[in-house]
C-alpha cells in the first residue's frame, strides 16, 4: 500500500459559549482536518489546531504531506523521523502539530487495513472509559455564574471541574471559592493561570488558594522558567501542573528530573504525535507523575485519537481536557457522548470514527465567509457569527 495524496480542509467551528482566558477571548476554533488517501482506497483522518494562524498551519501540513506521498503508510515511525530530520525539529511549535495530524491519519489507515482499533498498536486497552473534565467558561467572571455552570457539570456526571484564572486575584479567588462551595469536597477543582504571574506573585497567589482545596493549579508562571517552577512547587502546598513548560518532548524529562511539577499536562500536537505522547506517558509512569491530555484546540478527531492512547494506560486517571462540551459541532458522524464524565474508547477499526461530511462542508464554508477565530482576540460581548446560524445534524 502507498499514500497517494493528502487533502486539507480548513474549518471554523463556533463555541456554544466563548472561552475567556487571560490572553483574550475565543469564539470558536479554526482547525485543519487532514485526509490521507492510499492506492487501496483506504483513507485516514487527522486534525491539526490552527495555531498560531491557520495559514502557517496549512503550509506546514502541505510541506509535511510531501514526505509521506508515495510511501508506505505502515511505516509511521519512519515518517516521524523523516519529519524531524527534514527540519521540523528546528521549528517544533509549528512542525509538531502538522506531523501529529498526518501521523494520526496514518494510524487510522493502519487500523482500518488490519481491522483493529488504533489502541492495539499501543498495547491494548487497560482503561475502557477515559475521564474528562467539565469546563466552566464563566464569561462574565461572576461567582454566581461560575457556581451555576459548575453545578451543571456535576449534574451531568463530571468528576473534575476546570476554571481559567490569571485575571484579578481577588476575583479569581472568589470564583474558586464559589465553585468549591457549590460542588463540595468530592469533586476535583482545577485552575489554570496560563503563565499569569511572575514567581514572586505566584508564591503569594498560591498561598491564598490553599484554602480552596485544589486538585492542582496549572502553569502559574512563564513556560520557559522550569527552574522557577521547581522552586515554586517546593514552596507551595498547592500541587502544580506543567503544560506550556512540558510542551516539547525534551521538556517532559527535564520537568520530571527537576521535580518541577506534580502533574504533566501535554498533548500529541505539542509533542509531535501519538507516539511521542505515549513516550511522555511512559516517562511519567516511571516517575510516578500523572499525565493529562491537554486540549490544544481539539475538535472530535483529536479527542478520540488521544483517547486511544489514554485507554492503554492504567486506571484511575485524572480528568483529561476537552472542548467538546462547548463546541457547536465536533465534526463526527456520531457525536462524542460523555457518560459520567467519560467517553468510551472506540473499538472499531482505526480510530473508530467517521467524519460528518455535511458538517465538514458547512464549517469549511463558515471559514470562507467568516474567517479565522482569533486565539488572542479582544474580550467583547458580541459573537462574530450570525445569531441564526443553523448547525447541521445536531
Q: What is the per-residue pLDDT for 377?
A: 84
Does 362 lie in the same domain as 255?
no
Q: Is residue 206 part of a domain?
A: yes
Q: Are residues 177 and 324 in the same domain?
A: yes
Flag whether 133 is in a domain. Answer: yes
Within a domain: 384: no
| Residues of the chain scoring pLDDT < 70 | 394
CB atoms within 10 A of CB 354: 12
Q: How far apart are CA 307 and CA 315, in angstroms?
A: 13
Residues 324 and 274 occupy one common structural domain: yes
Task: Say if residues 394 and 75 touch (Cβ distance below 8 Å).
Answer: no
Per residue in 227-261, pLDDT (tens digit) is: 999 999 999 999 999 999 999 999 999 999 999 99
Q: 288 in a domain, yes or no? A: yes
* pLDDT for residue 42: 98
Please report whether residue 321 resides in a domain: yes
Q: What percent of the chain has pLDDT over 70?
A: 100
pTM (whole model) above 0.85: yes
Same structural domain, 88 and 211: no
Pairing of strands 188-192, 160-164: parallel
Per-residue confidence (pLDDT) for residue 6, from 0 to 100: 98
| Residue 394 in domain | no
Domain that holds residue 360: 3-115+355-370
Q: Cell 485516514 sits at which residue?
A: 44
Q: Is residue 390 part of a domain?
A: no
Domain count, the chain: 2
Q: Looking at the structure, do residues 128 and 246 belong to the same domain, yes or no?
A: yes
Amino acid at each position: 500500500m502507498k499514500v497517494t495524496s493528502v487533502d486539507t480542509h480548513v474549518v471554523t467551528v463556533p463555541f456554544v459559549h466563548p472561552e475567556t482566558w487571560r490572553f483574550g477571548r475565543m469564539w470558536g476554533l479554526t482547525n485543519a482536518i487532514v485526509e490521507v488517501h492510499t492506492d487501496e482506497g483506504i483513507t485516514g483522518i487527522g486534525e491539526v489546531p490552527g495555531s498560531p494562524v491557520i495559514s502557517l498551519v496549512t503550509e506546514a501540513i502541505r510541506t509535511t504531506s510531501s514526505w509521506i506521498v508515495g510511501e508506505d503508510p505502515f511505516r509511521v515511525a519512519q515518517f516521524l523521523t523523516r519529519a524531524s530530520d527534514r527540519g521540523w525539529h528546528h521549528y517544533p511549535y509549528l512542525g509538531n502539530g502538522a506531523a501529529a495530524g498526518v501521523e494520526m491519519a496514518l494510524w487510522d489507515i493502519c487500523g482500518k487495513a488490519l481491522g483493529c482499533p488504533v489502541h492495539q498498536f499501543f498495547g491494548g486497552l487497560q482503561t475502557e472509559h477515559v475521564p474528562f473534565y467539565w469546563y466552566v467558561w464563566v464569561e462574565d467572571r461572576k461567582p454566581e455564574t461560575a457556581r451555576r455552570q459548575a453545578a451543571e457539570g456535576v449534574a451531568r456526571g463530571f468528576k473534575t471541574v476546570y476554571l481559567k484564572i490569571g485575571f484579578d486575584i481577588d476575583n479569581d479567588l472568589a470564583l474558586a471559592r464559589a465553585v468549591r462551595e457549590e460542588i463540595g469536597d468530592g469533586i476535583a477543582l482545577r485552575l489554570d493561570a496560563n503563565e499569569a504571574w511572575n514567581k514572586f506573585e505566584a508564591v503569594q497567589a498560591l498561598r491564598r488558594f490553599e484554602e480552596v482545596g485544589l486538585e492542582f493549579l496549572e502553569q502559574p508562571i512563564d513556560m520557559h522558567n522550569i527552574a522557577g517552577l521547581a522552586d515554586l512547587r517546593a514552596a507551595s502546598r498547592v500541587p502544580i501542573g506543567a503544560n506550556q513548560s512540558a510542551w516539547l518532548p525534551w521538556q517532559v524529562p527535564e520537568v520530571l528530573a527537576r521535580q518541577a511539577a506534580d502533574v504533566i499536562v501535554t498533548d500529541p500536537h505539542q509533542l509531535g504525535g501519538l507516539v511521542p505522547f505515549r513516550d511522555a506517558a511512559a516517562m511519567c509512569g516511571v516517575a510516578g507523575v500523572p499525565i493529562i491530555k491537554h486540549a490544544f484546540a481539539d475538535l472530535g478527531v483529536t479527542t478520540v485519537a488521544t483517547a486511544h492512547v489514554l485507554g492503554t494506560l492504567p486506571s484511575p486517571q485524572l480528568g483529561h481536557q476537552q472542548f467538546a462540551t462547548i463546541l457547536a459541532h465536533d465534526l463526527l458522524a456520531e457525536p462524542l457522548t460523555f457518560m459520567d464524565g467519560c467517553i468510551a474508547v472506540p473499538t472499531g477499526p482505526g480510530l473508530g470514527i467517521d467524519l460528518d461530511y455535511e458538517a465538514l462542508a458547512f464549517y469549511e464554508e463558515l471559514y470562507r465567509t467568516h474567517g479565522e477565530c482569533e486565539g488572542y482576540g479582544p474580550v467583547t460581548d458580541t459573537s462574530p457569527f450570525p445569531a441564526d446560524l443553523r448547525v447541521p445534524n445536531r
